[in-house]
Amino acid sequence: MLLLAKYARAGHCFVSRTGPKLFRPKGTSRGFRSSNALPTSIEADSKKKDPTEISRAFNDAAPGKLNIAVIGAGLVGLATTAMLRRAGHRITIFESSSFHAEIGAGIVLPPNGVGVLKNNLPELNWENMQPVDFRSMEMFNVDGTYMETEDLSEGWSKYSQGYFMIHRVDLHKELMRMALEPNAIAFPPATIRLGAPIRTVDFDSDRPSVTTSTGEEFNFDLVLGTDGIKSTVRKFMVGTEYDAPATQLAFYRWMIDLRKNPGLSWIRDDRSTPGPTMIIGGENIMGLIAYPVRRGNVINFSGAHFDTRDQDAVDWNSEVPKEAFLGAFDDFADKFKALVTIAERPGAWQLRKLPPLPTWIKGNVALLGDAAHAMFPTYGQGFAVGVEDAATVATLFPSGTKKSDIPSRLKMFQEIRKPRAEHVSQMSTDAYKPPDEKSPEGSFVGWLAPELLDYDPVAVTKAALSKI
């Protein structure tokens, strides 16, 4: 089972940057959308606004509401925005990319992450995300020999939230709808500035500011850095010595649409319950995992391997030569090779993690998600722990929060979240060690521990608030 989570989570990749534009959602679209188009109508403002005018507008929030900047529009950034939107706060997202194209891979969402989303974003339309239930794990040897199928239905039944496999793009679109679409939540939507990379962050007052690459400066009551493992906000907070180092571990990643390749449907259909298929024992590939997303119509593949490239000299998520990619699977059985040779543009995604940071907070600025605690995907917990951060922040900053309370609430956020996230990250790291070097938390039993999968960040936060 450790192998399952090890290869189940994928990172995001954004498109190239363009000049910054201020975007606001418009229109009154209603109801469920089944298409793959962006779930919100977003249009550029037709009139160029004076930066001073924009800054002044950002400085003013309604009484009892905070003016908040969210840096980064990835999964955790959008989830954080949506949860804070439910409190009526005024939120501006700064995103360095322009979302001209969305690419991604599969993501496994364990019960603790599902529970946070269901309880804190009840407006989510799960059908939009086209989830597949995770009920069993099928294992083969690289030579094609069937090993076993582990039925997990009974084990997961104690977690009523569910355990799902989802395409990352579908999850991102639904969270974007929650953050930006006018009628998605009964509070004003956030504003998003696309193509707006952050150049500097000023922590030195109770009105922190961010400056974009164009020199525009904006002040806020609270700034939240959700800008991922390469976080700019983190760089200004703690320095570059806490960047994620190379590990020489990577995943080959690709996807297959079974509607276009019905001859490969056996990987989905030759089993009684849905779930991942694991192929192990290869000379070059530590393990290949395949699992269904988009209601079972698309299969996500991740092949873990040692990366012999200079990882600091290449992009962290890059296309690889097809010949080298195919060669890594030379010892796979023909039925498995058929799943490999069809890959059109295979990529290599480097596995990196952050060391424990000295702090997640400075002034009225905080780090969340991968910006604070990027971890190995061993337990499929990266996004789940990130949305735990989001729910904690939303609980600490309800409507009516006083601006003078922001520093103490951020201190509480760090006290609640930092030990939890660092513990899960250490568990994920331990799983890569030889058995005699693992801590108890890095064992199979530790991975199934109720305190991991049944964790409720809102209950923990409310308990902390009750003591002040």
Flag the least confident range among 35-39, 136-140, 328-332, 343-347.
Answer: 35-39
Q: Could you identify the residue written with the tokens 């799902």?
A: 164
| Residue 220: both structure tokens together | 């806020």
Note the pLDDT of residue 151: 83
| Residue 382: both structure tokens together | 């990266």
For 82-96, what is each residue's pLDDT tens digit? 999 999 999 999 999
Burial class (CB in 10 A: 0-12, 13-18, 19+), 247: middle
| Residue 172: both structure tokens together | 């991102």
Q: Could you identify the residue written with the tokens 């608030």?
A: 465
Phi, psi of 225 (to 5 degrees): -90, 105
Contact 215, 182 (CB under 8 A): no
Beta bridge partners of 287: 280, 304
Note the pLDDT of residue 74: 96
The residues, any chain, with a CB within 8 Å of residue 265's CB and separated by 6 or more, are 258
Phi, psi of 436 (to 5 degrees): -75, -5
Contact 409, 401 (CB under 8 A): yes
Taking alpha carbons only, the member of 51, 46, 53 closest to residue 24 is 46
> Hey, how many other C-beta atoms are within 10 angstroms of the C-beta on 419?
11
Burial class (CB in 10 A: 0-12, 13-18, 19+), 43: exposed
Give the residue with greater pLDDT, 40 vs 296.
296
Flag the least confident range among 97-106, 113-122, 344-353.
Answer: 97-106
Contact 71, 48 (CB under 8 A): no
Mean pLDDT of the chain: 85
Beta bridge partners of 44: 23
Q: What is the distance between the alpha carbons of residues 373 and 355, in angstroms, rounded to a whole number? A: 8
The residues, any chain, with a CB within 8 Å of residue 181's CB and separated by 6 or more, are 25, 29, 39, 40, 41, 189
Domains of the chain: 21-104+169-243+355-465 (3.50.50.60)
Q: What is the band of 437 on the pLDDT scale with cuts at 50, 70, 90?
A: low
The residues, any chain, with a CB within 8 Å of residue 6's CB and separated by 6 or more, are 287, 289, 304, 376, 377, 378, 431, 432
Q: What is the band of 448 on the pLDDT scale with cuts at 50, 70, 90?
A: low
Summarize the confidence of residues 46-58 as an average pLDDT. 37
Strands 217-219 and 209-212: antiparallel
Q: Which amino acid is at 152?
A: L
Flag the least confident range among 96-105, 431-440, 454-463.
Answer: 431-440
Taking alpha carbons only, the member of 36, 274, 299 closest to residue 152 is 274
Radius of gyration of the chain (CA): 22
Give the residue with greater pLDDT, 19 vs 328.
328
Residue 201, CA atoms < 13 Å, CB-side half-sphere: 30
Q: Which amino acid is at 163?
A: Y
The residues, any chain, with a CB within 8 Å of residue 154's CB and separated by 6 or more, are none
What CA dihedral angle connects 24, 25, 27 and 28, to 10 degrees? Answer: -140
Flag the least confident range among 151-155, 278-282, 345-349.
Answer: 151-155
Helix (H), strand (E) counts: the chain: 16, 22
Report percent pLDDT > 90 for the chain: 71
CA dihedral over 93, 94, 98, 104, signed as positive or negative: negative
Q: Could you identify the residue written with the tokens 């996004």?
A: 383
Taking alpha carbons only, the member of 131, 81, 90, 124 closest to residue 107 is 131
Q: Which amino acid is at 134?
A: F
Is the per-residue pLDDT at 344 higher than 80?
Answer: yes
Q: What is the distance between the alpha carbons of residues 363 and 2, in angstroms, rounded to a whole number? A: 39
